[in-house]
Structure 1
Amino acid sequence: MAKDPVRVLVTGAAGQIGYALVPMIARGTMLGPDQPVILHMLDIPPAVESLNGVKMELIDAAFPLLKGAVATTDVVEACKGVNIAIMVGGFPRKEGMERKDVMSKNVSIYKSQASALEEYAAKDVKVLVVANPANTNALILKEFAPSIPEKNITCLTRLDHNRALGQISERLDVPVSKVKNVIIWGNHSSTQYPDVSHAVVETEHGEQPVAKLVADDAWLHGEFISVVQQRGAAIIKARKLSSALSAASSACDHIRDWVLGTPKGTWVSMGVYSDGSYDVPPGLIYSYPVTCENGEWSIVQGLSVDEFSRGKLVATADELVEEKAMAYSCFSS
């Protein structure tokens, strides 16, 4: 029996990340090789020609799983009946702009998109916010789409998670598939905390702790953390463009694991609505270690947090509290 198509919305679809992401979805990278999809692609009016070009290429690529493609600048048309929404579009910070200005622009974008999702998307729509500031944009979306369950609104920290896996794999010269259970705590920003204190490597002698194999706490507490935190900036410097390929790939990973489940014994990092776990203030969208089953995520409980880690968890939570206050101050302006 062929499956019914899943409707997937990508906002900012004509941009760099969107251009990398839509063929991955159409090829089955995100939802599996037997799941047909209908792509809904939204962008702003100045990008309409480019958006139509993306649609032409999708048609030309003849993806067997792609059962339809909607390319539009109308947020209502874009949101109609969608089961999954990947929010890539946002207002980027430009030179000379204050954070408050960027926040204000994103509040207006996410307010209108949240209202359209609230009214026109499938009732059980799963939302992934990619556009920065991702955690706070997801929180804005939650505020203006109150009927979407809070468990269905997440933000992307899987990119940072995958970056951390990549750094450990390079350092130990092991395949990245053998490294698991790193954690990204907090904000998708330079205050995030990439934590390997519970991470392991699968070796021929069983699972070994990453910290033991690296055997260099100064590197793990210093350079490793800053490399992961600053990786996006390093890629912009090298490529003169932001990290589109890796962001698109990690967005697929995030949705795939959320919908199809995480492998047994493995957790991943997702920005989710805090319930107060690990003494993080409730009501923030905060990155935690999670496992997924039957389309639901659960925060991994009971992990030990040492003094060094506690300081990092608090610092990134403080930044999110500040961002939240700034976003809420833009609601009425």
Structure 2
Amino acid sequence: MDKVAKKSVRVLVVGNPANTNALVCSKYAPSIPKENFSAMTRLDENRARSEIATRLKVSVAAVRGVTIWGNHSSTQFPDASHAKVMLKPGQETAVYEAIGDDKWLQSEFIEKIQKRGAEVIKARKLSSAMSAAKAAADHMHDIWHGTPPNTWVSMGVFSDGSYGTTEGVMFSFPVTIENKQWKIGLSISAFAKGKMDITGKELAEEREEALAVCQD
């Protein structure tokens, strides 16, 4: 890829550990901007939106603004603090207000999304298939066409240290996309920062283990 791909190529890594695999892939294609590589956490976002939609008895399309922070692993932080839901046509409500159960949103909801991948493998003896393919299509669609106004999507991208995260890892952030360029930006709470520190630490450890076996 480093030798024959266009330098404008956009690379999505899906295979686990997706974030660290994306980092390693970028290492071996140094002529391609690191910003052109991303890891898929859209599957986790779609699962989180579905869980909220089921809880509120609405369609998944009615839920927006859920964020997956960190690693595509059991340390990821599914965050609904900025999410909105359309309970009635033309009327959006904050998910926290609509659900009215902060404890559930900060415990059971998070754990369920963190463990969903493992549950699928246990049930199917295989990783998710159609849902992962749909997430990959969603991810690439938004890179090519941009994100809708007033919302964002979750992508594992090269961390510049935003939000105090570890630099030099592929960290899932909320991003907006325009002209095939992503941009990070969203305010966070102290609760979110604590969860992000946990998943960031895991990514830094994965990076060191992966790069230790890479050949220069």
Whether TM-score is above 0.5 comes out as: yes
1:114-158 deviation per Cα after TM superposition (whole angstroms, max 9, x unaligned)? xxx110112211000001010001111111111111110000000
Q: Structure 1 residue 238: deviation in Å?
A: 2.0
Q: Structure 1 residue 178: deviation in Å?
A: 0.8
Q: Structure 1 residue 297: deviation in Å?
A: 1.1
Report the secondary structure of 2:2's partner residue.
Answer: helix
Q: Indicate if the aligned counterparts of 2:58 and 2:87 stay in contact, CA closer than 8 A.
A: no
Q: Counterpart of 2:48?
A: 164
1:148-188 deviation per Cα after TM superposition (whole angstroms, max 9, x unaligned)? 11110000000001000000000000111110000000000
Query: Given the alignment, which residue of 223, 237, 245 partners 2:108?
Result: 223
Q: Structure 1 residue 245: deviation in Å?
A: 0.8
Distance across 1 between alignment mates of 2:23 and 2:56: 37
Q: Structure 1 residue 332: deviation in Å?
A: 4.3
Matched, 1:237 2:122: yes
Runs of 4+ in 1 over 3 A off after TM superposition: none
Q: Indicate if the aligned counterparts of 1:193 and 1:316 stay in contact, CA closer than 8 A.
A: yes
Q: Structure 1 residue 203: deviation in Å?
A: 3.1
Q: Structure 1 residue 300: deviation in Å?
A: 1.9
Q: Counterpart of 2:26?
A: 142
Matched, 1:270 2:155: yes
Matched, 1:287 2:176: no
Q: Structure 1 residue 310: deviation in Å?
A: 1.1
Distance across 2 between alignment mates of 1:282 and 1:332: 21
Letter in 1 for 2:109: F
Distance across 2 between alignment mates of 1:122 and 1:332: 24
Report the secondary structure of 1:331's partner residue.
Answer: coil
Distance across 2 between alignment mates of 1:326 and 1:208: 43
Structure 1 unaligned residues grouped into runs of 5+: 1-116
Report the secondary structure of 2:120's partner residue.
Answer: helix
Q: Counterpart of 1:123?
A: 7
Matched, 1:307 2:195: no
Q: Counterpart of 1:317?
A: 200
* Counterparts of residues 1-333 of structure 1 (less than 5 Å): 117-204=1-88, 206-301=91-186, 303=187, 305-332=188-215
Letter in 2 for 1:309: A
Q: RCO (CA 8 Å, sep 6+): is it higher in 1 or 2? A: 2
Q: Structure 1 residue 217: deviation in Å?
A: 1.4
Q: Structure 1 residue 237: deviation in Å?
A: 2.0
Q: Counterpart of 1:90?
A: none
Distance across 1 between alignment mates of 2:158 and 2:32: 13
Q: Indicate if the aligned counterparts of 2:158 and 2:170 stay in contact, CA closer than 8 A.
A: yes
TM-score normalised by the chain length of structure 1: 0.63
Letter in 2 for 1:196: A
Q: Structure 1 residue 206: deviation in Å?
A: 2.1
TM-score normalised by the chain length of structure 2: 0.96
Report the secondary structure of 1:142's partner residue.
Answer: helix
Report the secondary structure of 2:3's partner residue.
Answer: helix
Q: Indicate if the aligned counterparts of 1:259 and 1:296 stay in contact, CA closer than 8 A.
A: no
Q: How many residues align?
A: 215
Identity of aligned residues (%): 52
Distance across 2 between alignment mates of 1:147 and 1:118: 6
Structure 2 unaligned residues grouped into runs of 5+: none
Q: Structure 1 residue 240: deviation in Å?
A: 2.4
